[in-house]
Amino acid sequence: MGGLVIGGGRVVDPASGMDAVADVAILDGRIEAVGTGLGGAERTIDATGLVVAPGFIDLHAHGQSIPADRMQAFDGVTTALDLEAGVLPVASWYARQEKQGRVLNYGASVNWAFARIGAMTGSNEESSLEAFGRAMRDRRWIENVAIETEVTGILNRIARGLDEGGIGIGILNAYAPGAGVQELIAVCQLAFAHAVPTFTHVAFMSRVDPESAAEAYIRLIGYAGATGAHMHICHFNSSSKTDIARCVKLVEKAQAQGLPITVEAYPYGTGSTVMAATFFAEPDFIARNGMGYDTIQRVTDGHRFRDREEVLKAQAEEPSTLVLWHVLDIENNPHHRDLLDLSVMYPGGAIASDAMPWTLPDGSTYTGDMWPLPDDATSHPRSAGCFTRFIRQWVRERQAVPLMEGIAKCALIPAQILETSTPAMAAKGRLQPGADADVVVFDLATLTDRAEFTTMNRPAEGVRHLIVSGHPLISDGVLDQAARPGKPVRRPLAAG
């Protein structure tokens, strides 16, 4: 029959409910059959004693490069999408990815922040981490309410990106807290008109009013109810911080009333962003967040900041530098661990990494071809071990989540969040005939994340085989460094 057969593994497919020893046959980049006694393939993989599951789908991956893909491959990811931030312009970004080749399947939303930057400052710089840091020096797009002509410019830029195949609209609201409600209503109305989701970093994250996390979620719920737009909440954990319990109740009630709201979370108490993030400069940062400046840590050298003056100085001098923000002390505080559980175990919620680019000591983003990554390349550990950490801790060790549900949160649920607006996703997150041949084969007994805050660039272990678009990318734990099997995930282009 040609192709590839993964034989004798424990096939776990949340879409069908299958959890049984079986074979998976792959032909021409698709799942050909799932059953027993499937032989005659050109190549076979003995999966005896291993779990065979649909490849994990990351809705929130900022790395979008070959080094980032390779690290996420060992985390079981076969599709890495940048939806919270997105890109702008869209068509040229997809063209660049296709030209260079990608290791994993890839895609992005339309970047609202860069639409705002362009319409309000006149800059036409393409979106990137470095460009974002530079743009933070111009406070107009961050703090000002857009006038009517600027709103029109924002909407036109977003609409063009959607016509070019962007997967919804990424709304980095927290980085432009001055954006007016009328503008965001118009953006959500545009999303509804195009039948695409929005992916929102909520505007506020404080534990106290005004401008609290609760207020931000009430706004988001209101946008969903008033416009009909599908509102997806990014990193439910770090956006809610120590007020997760209150925010969970708000979202639960909104969903129970039928509002189109979905959520994602990552299994860490520490977030990551750029040094220039507006919320670090709040005069009452300590009172509003219930934590000191020492919770902000520079990625490249581990430096923890002492006071507001030092933060402001770093924002002026190194706005694009990546920092960690230790918002929940899950190692020492049982209550904080319980709060993280509320977001990670949220019913129907996806696991998504918020993986960051890999950074060199000079602050530049590493995009080279070295594997393993350079010893001095740093990032948040979630960039290397998000999904394996979730399955190790919540599924295997704590048995807080059944394996079937755990796989669903990593693969099927992310696909379902997108499949209505992006038809290509209906063929992902499943092990069924006709589905895309994106498959992870792992040893549940040894699967583990290895990246830590002191040694970040260690790949996860336990993924024995990874198939991307029908191509064996990892075989017996070894990466095919020449392989570029990743394919674009994109909405259909507008006619004409």
Q: Are 355 and 77 in contact (CB under 8 A)?
A: no
Is 486 domain-assigned? no
Of 392, 424, 456, which closes a domain? Answer: 424
Count of CB atoms within 10 A of residue 491's CB? 24
How far apart are the C-alpha atoms of 293 and 311, rounded to whole Å?
8
Q: How far apart are CA 12 and CA 18, in angstroms?
A: 6
Residue whose token pair is 């080749």? 101
Are both 398 and 452 inside the same structural domain? no
CATH code for the domain in which residue 442 is found: 2.30.40.10
Do both 142 and 91 map to the same domain? yes
Q: Half-sphere exposure of residue 307, counting CA atoms within 13 Å on the CB side? A: 1
Give dist(CA 89, CA 382) in Å, integer. Answer: 27
Q: 211 and 317: one domain?
A: yes
Q: Do 246 and 383 belong to one domain?
A: yes
pLDDT by 10s per residue, the chain, length 496: 469 999 999 999 999 999 999 999 999 999 999 999 998 888 999 999 999 999 999 999 999 999 999 999 999 999 999 999 999 999 999 999 999 999 999 999 999 999 999 999 999 999 998 999 899 999 999 999 999 999 999 999 999 999 999 999 999 999 999 999 999 999 999 999 999 999 999 999 999 999 999 999 999 999 999 999 999 999 999 999 899 999 999 999 999 999 999 999 999 999 999 998 989 999 999 999 999 999 999 998 999 999 999 999 999 999 989 999 999 999 999 999 999 999 999 999 999 999 999 999 998 999 999 999 999 999 999 999 999 999 999 999 999 999 999 999 999 999 999 999 999 999 999 999 999 999 999 999 999 999 999 899 999 999 999 999 999 999 999 999 999 999 999 999 887 6
Q: How many independent structural domains does the chain possess? A: 2
**235 in the same domain as 106:** yes
DSSP class per residue in 105-156: EEEEEEEHHHHHHHHHH---PPP-HHHHHHHTT-THHHHSPPPHHHHHHHHH
Q: What's 114's domain CATH number? A: 3.20.20.140
Q: Residue 264 domain-assigned?
A: yes
> 488 in a domain, yes or no?
no
79, part of any domain: yes
Judge whether 494 lies within some domain: no
Please tell me whether residues 344 and 472 are part of one structural domain: no
CB atoms within 10 A of CB 302: 11
- In this structure, are strands 18-27 and 4-13 parallel, antiparallel, or unpaired? antiparallel
In a domain, residue 102? The reply is: yes
Query: What is the SS3 assignment for 4?
Result: strand
What pLDDT does residue 166 have? 98
Q: Please state, in angstroms and rounded to a whole number, the distance separating the CA atoms of residues 65 and 365.
A: 10
Is the same domain home to 165 and 282? yes
Whole-angstrom distance, CA of residue 183 vs CA of residue 166: 20
d(C-alpha 392, C-alpha 385), whole Å = 10
CA distance 359 to 71: 13
Residues 45 and 63 in one domain: no
What Å distances lie between residue 8 and 5, 39, 44, 49, 411, CA to CA?
10, 11, 10, 8, 21
Which of 407, 424, 441 is at the close of a domain?
Answer: 424
pTM listed for this prediction: 0.96
Same-domain check for residues 390 and 256? yes
User: 464 with 381, same domain?
Assistant: no
Considering the domain architecture, whether residues 47 and 65 belong to the same structural domain is answered as no
Same domain, 299 and 398: yes
Q: How far apart are CA 92 and CA 111, in angstroms?
A: 13
Q: Which amino acid is at 257?
A: Q
Give a yes or no: residue 412 inside a domain: yes
| Confidence at residue 61, expressed as pLDDT on a 0 to 100 scale | 98
Domain that holds residue 26: 4-54+431-479
Q: Which two tokens stand for residue 313?
A: 């100085």
The helix/strand/coil state of 424 is: helix
- Inside any domain, residue 485: no
